[in-house]
Each structure stands twice: as C-alpha cells, then as structure tokens.
C-alpha cells in the first residue's frame, strides 16, 4: 500500500475525470470542496464505460481533470461512492493512488475491473452521453 506524505493526508487533493466534475451528475459530492483548477494528466488513460469513465494507470497524451481540495469527511464519501476499500483496495471497483498535478500530489481513482472492448480516451475529456 502506498502511504502519501503527511501533508497530503492532512489536506488531500483529489483529481476527478468523470461524473464528479463540475456540472455533472455526481458533482454534488464535492460541493463543499475547494475547486483549485483544471489540469491534464499523462499518467492515466480513460475508458468510456457508458454512464461513467474509468481511469487506468496507462500513459496518455493527456486526460482532462479537475482538482479539488477535500477534507477527510469528503474523501471518505468519495471512497464509498467509488467502492474504494481502504484495507483491500484491489477488491473494490476502484483503487486510489497519488498522481502529480500542477496543484500538487492528488488522489486519482483508478478502475480495478476489466476495460477490454470499451472505447479508449487517450487525450481530452470524457463526455456524458
């Protein structure tokens, strides 16, 4: 298990790429979070699963993310939403790992399930249908 630096654990940043982005259906989970801005990550690739995207730790040309500063309560809520299991992260739908953003290290939820056959997004943003 990857343990982030103490500063990250105290004031975690989260990079979101799907339905948690501003204006989309799950953004209400972040309404109490501080929006820091947008960034482009080359450390992950998106897969379009239909109702939501999935990120995998694969190099890309740059996927668009929004970065938020959250507290422990908000992060715990996101963990529930994404089925991230702290003690057994590979067993849930998502794992969460630190990725570098222009705002500092941020958690990124990475999909644990199979993505074979789904459309790949190696650059830009996922758009809801």
Q: How far is CA 41 from CA 49, 51, 66, 119, in A?
A: 19, 22, 10, 18
| Residues recognised as catalytic | 82
Q: Strands 104-111, 13-16: parallel, antiparallel or unpaired by DSSP? A: parallel
Rounded CA separation 64/40 (Å): 5
Q: In sequence order, which residues have a C-beta less than 8 Å from that of residue 1 and are 6 or more positions away?
A: 89
């Amino acid at each position: 298990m990857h343990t982030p630096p103490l500063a990250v654990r105290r004031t975690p940043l989260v990079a979101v790429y799907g339905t948690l982005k501003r204006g989309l259906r799950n953004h209400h989970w972040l309404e109490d979070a501080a929006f820091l801005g947008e960034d482009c990550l080359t450390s992950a690739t998106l897969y379009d699963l239909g109702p939501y995207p999935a990120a995998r730790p694969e190099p890309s040309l740059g996927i668009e993310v929004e970065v938020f500063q959250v507290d422990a309560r908000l992060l715990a809520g996101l963990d529930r939403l994404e089925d991230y299991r702290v003690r057994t992260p590979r067993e849930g739908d998502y794992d969460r790992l630190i990725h570098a953003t222009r705002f500092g290290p941020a958690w990124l939820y990475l999909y644990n399930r199979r993505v074979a056959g789904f459309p790949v997004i190696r650059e830009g943003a996922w758009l809801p249908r």
